[in-house]
Chain A
Amino acid sequence: MSKIIQLIKKMNVAAVFGVLYLVVASWFLIESFNYPYMTKFGVGSGFFPRWVSVFAIIVGIVYLLTAIFKDRFIFEDIMPDRQGLQNVLLVIMAIIVFIFLTDKTGFIISASLLLFTIFIREYPWWKAILLAIVVSTICFLIFRKGFSVPLPVNRWGF
């Protein structure tokens, strides 16, 4: 396991990004063939995407070459420390949970949960709960009551 982590740490991140970018640009090029290049009225909806994706691929190849031979930088240099990485992943996971939960629990509960998972890492538990509820409630009141945004609510109206 630690060998795999070491291997990832030494990986050329710019090159990895270059490959991913090329995959996406190539998908756009392949997909662009589904749209007409020319129609009887003139150039079709495939014209612009095809040229954009062709140039995108050319730029991607140049980038990949520079990433391999010139501007090399490895994962280890850009990754945050263990705690930082955990914080970043936590935020992403918390947003995903929030997205799936909100329609069922209503905004205040899901937002409080989202904020609590972040606050608990830096504040004592009682402060984290208090902050999470206060911030979500204030936001709910401002947006729902103040700006009439139809935020999802539960059966109790919050």
Chain B
Amino acid sequence: MAESFMGLMSGFSVAISPMNILYCFIGCFVGMVVGVLPGIGPTEATALLIPLTYGMSPVSAIIMLAGIYYGGMYGGTITSVLINTPGEAASVITCLDGYPLAVQGRAGVALKVAAVGSFVGGLISTLGLALIGPPLAEWALKFGPTEMFALLVFGMSMVIGLMGKSLIRGLIAVFIGLLFALVGMDTVSGNIRFTLGINQLVGGIDLVTLSMGLFGLSEILVGMENLKIHNKAGNMNSSKLYPEEKRPTIMSIIRGSFLGFFMGLIPGTSSAIPAMISYSIEKRISKHPEKFGHGAVEGVAGPETANNSYVGGAMIPLFTLGIPSSPTIAILLGAFMMHGLTPGPTLFINEPLVVWGTIASMFIGNLILLIMNVPMASWWAKLANVPNKLLYPVVLIIAILGAYTVSNSMFDVIIMLIAGVIGYVLKKVDIPMAPIVLVFVLSEMMERSILQSIKINKGLSGLYTSPIAMTLLISAAFVLVYSLISELKNKKSAYLGDGSD
């Protein structure tokens, strides 16, 4: 505890430098913008902006990119409430009660409650990250290659089980990610594989380029199908809670904070899941469940808190195990590597200022977002009025520039184009996109750990002699079987979507 406190204090000394506050503000601002604009989410924005952080110090870059992630969660709420269009997946559920509140002239209430809930959720989960992160990292140091391989298999099973509506489509996505990751130099032996003789592929397919294609360009192509869509924002009148709404709202914010944080710890979840669970809990325990769907304030407060709180929780597997729990976190992991940092248990020891600086900046970022949101919500809503016919071409040129900057060559633009077309096709056949990127990131670690495990144990015996590995593998099997049974009983929710943030 004392160690965490000291770390946090040193983190604040980094985070409050004028430049880092500026980068935090830029990250939050960009996150808000992409959250507000339907069709572009934090995943695409993070991928687009990574190349621009090359010249920055690692801590500033991570502070800015993390700001985009949690800023996007705030921004998505505004369009859900005012124009019934979620800016990102986590805010889908907010439409159910946020928009009816806006129709009743109480959009101000919905936005204020969402902003305060997001702030509280963000603070509680960041505090949780500061407290749980270091001991978990210490525990993770005991993991050998066998345990790490089992953990990765478990993580992948969660990705397959929780993301998307079909187990088989999830598996297809996982293997697409694994096959993509095989291209390039094998880091264990140095052999060059599956490059088709193309020299630029020796280093493998770049994560940022792949993500920009799969998420960004494919979204643009889908958007190009109908450029006529034009959103119109509503007006905000009252912004005060009724006295009888105050207690249930506060309680839903507290519940949402803890729910989101713990869901963030589970690899393979997305911020849409805690939001959805929070909504169903709030409805179940409410004295007036009939109000849900017609403008219940708890229906906005709980899910919005949960999706922001999720972000802090999701950072824990990244910081302590080097495992991303969502696509945006996977891209953040790519940013860590690009800046010469290796996420995992040693990060707290080797780069304490980066870790604690980022954690401390999240406190500051949440405060910035609260200030940006409560008085300025109507201004943000106007941004959603940008017509698609202008928005998509502009995003397209930014995506092309983003891909070009990866290695200052048109080759990355070609790869992005191919990935974009593949992503478009995958969207059409309902294959979830998020597992591809998550598995792509984990694949190299997975191959290295299984090869090392085989070498150490002279075979695969380590997988069933190590209690930790065995437990994780059994859990993975349980998740897959449970997911299959749920699917057969048609219990999987359509809200799970493709698991993007």
**How far does the alpha carbon of A124 sit from the alpha carbon of B221 in the complex, in Å?**
22
Q: Taking the complex as formed, is B447 at the interface, i.e. its CB lies under 8 A from any CB of chain A?
A: yes
User: Is A17 a contact partner of B429 (Cβ separation < 8 A)?
Assistant: yes
Q: Which residues of B164-192 are within 8 A (CB) of A?
A: 166, 168-169, 171-172, 175-176, 178-179, 182, 186, 188-189, 191
**Complex contact B417–A49 (CB within 8 A):** no
> Which residues of chain A in 56-89 are interfacial with respect to chain B, using CB atoms and an 8 Å cutoff?
56, 59-60, 62-63, 66, 71, 73, 78, 80-81, 84-85, 87-88
Q: Which residues of A contact B398 (CB under 8 A)?
A: 139
Query: Is B421 on the interface with A (CB-CB < 8 A)?
Result: yes
Q: Count chain B CB atoms within 10 A of each CB in A25, A55, A56, A114 and give the residue with the most.
A: A56
Contact with B along A45-57 (1 / 0, CB 8 A): 1011100110110
Interface residue? B227 (CB, 8 A): yes
Chain B nearest Cβ from A69, distance in angstroms: 12
With contacts A102-B410, A122-B227, A131-B390 taken as known, whether A59 is within 8 angstroms of B55 at the C-beta atoms is: no
Q: Are A45 and B186 in contact (CB under 8 A)?
A: yes
Give residues of chain B (42-60) contacting chain A, Cβ–Cβ below 8 Å. Answer: 51-52, 55
B169, A63: Cβ atoms closer than 8 Å: yes
Are B168 and A59 in contact, with the CB atoms below 8 A? Answer: yes
With an 8 A cutoff between CB atoms, is B400 at the interface? yes
| Chain B residue, CB-CB nearest to A62 | B168
B55–A60 CB distance below 8 A = no
- A16 CB, nearest partner CB in chain B, Å: 9
Structural contact, B447 and A48, CB atoms closer than 8 A? yes
Residues of A contacting B244 with CB < 8 Å?
A: none
Contacts of A90 in B (CB 8 A): 224
B210 CB to closest chain A CB (Å) equals: 15
Considering the complex, which residues of chain A in the window 18-52 have a beta carbon less than 8 Å from any beta carbon of chain B?
21, 24-25, 28, 31-32, 35-36, 39, 42-45, 47-49, 52
* B413 within 8 Å of A (CB atoms): yes
> For the complex, what is the distance from the CA of A98 to the CA of B404, rounded to whole Å?
12
Q: A13-B429, A49-B182, A147-B55 are in contact. Are A95 and B400 (CB under 8 A)?
A: yes
Contact B404 A151 (CB under 8 A): yes
A28 and B182 form a contact (CB under 8 A): yes
B224 touches A84 (CB 8 A): yes
Number of A-B contacts (CB under 8 A): 143
- Whether the pair A48, B410 counts as a contact (CB closer than 8 A) is no
A87 and B226 CA atoms in complex are apart in Å by: 8
Most buried by A among B169, B225, B227, B417: B225
A114 close to B52 (CB less than 8 A): no
With A13-B428, A135-B393 in contact, is A84–B225 under 8 Å at CB? yes
Residue from the set B175, B182, B405, B424 with the largest chain A CB neighbour count within 10 Å: B175
A24 to B182, CA, bound (A): 13
Known: A121-B227, A143-B405. A56 touches B397 (CB 8 A): no
B189 nearest in chain A by CB position:
A45
Residues of A within 8 Å of B396, CB to CB, are: 91, 95, 114, 118
A131–B198 Cα distance when bound, in Å, is 37
Enumerate B431-471 residues with CB–CB distance to A below 8 Å: 431, 447, 450-451, 454-455
Chain B CB within 8 A of A109 CB: no
The answer to whether B166 and A111 have CB atoms under 8 Å apart is: no
Tell me whether A111 and B175 are in contact in the complex, defined as CB-CB below 8 angstroms, given that A42-B455, A48-B447, A63-B169 are known contacts.
no
Quick one: closest B residue to A114, CB to CB?
Answer: B397
A122 surroundings in chain B (CB, below 8 A): 227, 389
- Give chain A residues whose Cβ lies under 8 Å from the Cβ of B191: 35-36, 44-45
Q: A86-107: which have CB < 8 Å to B?
A: 87-88, 90-92, 95-96, 98-99, 102-103
Count of chain A residues with a beta carbon within 8 Å of a chain B beta carbon = 64
Q: Which of A17, A25, A32, A47 contacts B175 (CB 8 A)?
A: A25
Partner of B389, one of A17, A45, A53, A123: A123
Chain A 129-140, CB within 8 Å of chain B: the 1/0 string? 001000110010
Q: Is B394 an interface residue (CB 8 A)?
A: yes
Whether B172 pairs with A60 at a CB distance below 8 angstroms is yes
Question: Inside 8 A of A85's CB, which chain B residues have their CB?
Answer: 225
Q: What residues on A are CB-neighbors of B55 within 8 Å?
A: 147-148
Scan residues 401-429 of chain B and give those whose CB is less than 8 A from a CB of chain A: 401, 404-405, 408, 410, 413-414, 417, 421, 424-425, 428-429
- How far does the Cβ of A30 sit from chain B's closest Cβ, in whole Å? 11
User: Do B172 and A45 touch across chains, with their CB atoms under 8 A apart?
Assistant: no
Q: Which residues of B sit under 8 angstroms from A31, Cβ to Cβ?
A: 193-194
Q: When the two chains form their complex, are residues B417 and A96 in contact, meaning their CB atoms are under 8 A apart?
A: yes
Contact A149 B421 (CB under 8 A): no
- A56 lies within 8 A of B224 (CB): no
User: Smallest distance from the beta carbon of A84 to chain B beta carbons, Å?
Assistant: 4
Q: Hey, which chain B residues are within 8 Å of A148, CB to CB? A: 55
- 17 intermolecular pairs with C-beta atoms under 8 Å apart: A14-B429, A35-B191, A42-B451, A43-B455, A45-B186, A45-B193, A48-B450, A52-B175, A52-B178, A59-B172, A88-B424, A115-B393, A115-B397, A122-B389, A147-B52, A148-B55, A149-B401
List 12 other contacts, CB 8 Å, given A48-B451, A84-B224, A103-B410.
Answer: A13-B428, A17-B425, A17-B431, A25-B179, A45-B188, A52-B179, A95-B400, A123-B389, A143-B401, A143-B405, A148-B55, A149-B51
Q: Give residues in B with beta carbon < 8 Å to A.
A: 51-52, 55, 166, 168-169, 171-172, 175-176, 178-179, 182, 186, 188-189, 191, 193-194, 220-221, 224-227, 389-390, 392-394, 396-398, 400-401, 404-405, 408, 410, 413-414, 417, 421, 424-425, 428-429, 431, 447, 450-451, 454-455
Q: Please report A residues at the B interface, Cβ cutoff 8 Å.
A: 13-14, 17, 21, 24-25, 28, 31-32, 35-36, 39, 42-45, 47-49, 52-53, 55-56, 59-60, 62-63, 66, 71, 73, 78, 80-81, 84-85, 87-88, 90-92, 95-96, 98-99, 102-103, 111, 114-115, 118-119, 121-123, 131, 135-136, 139, 143, 147-151
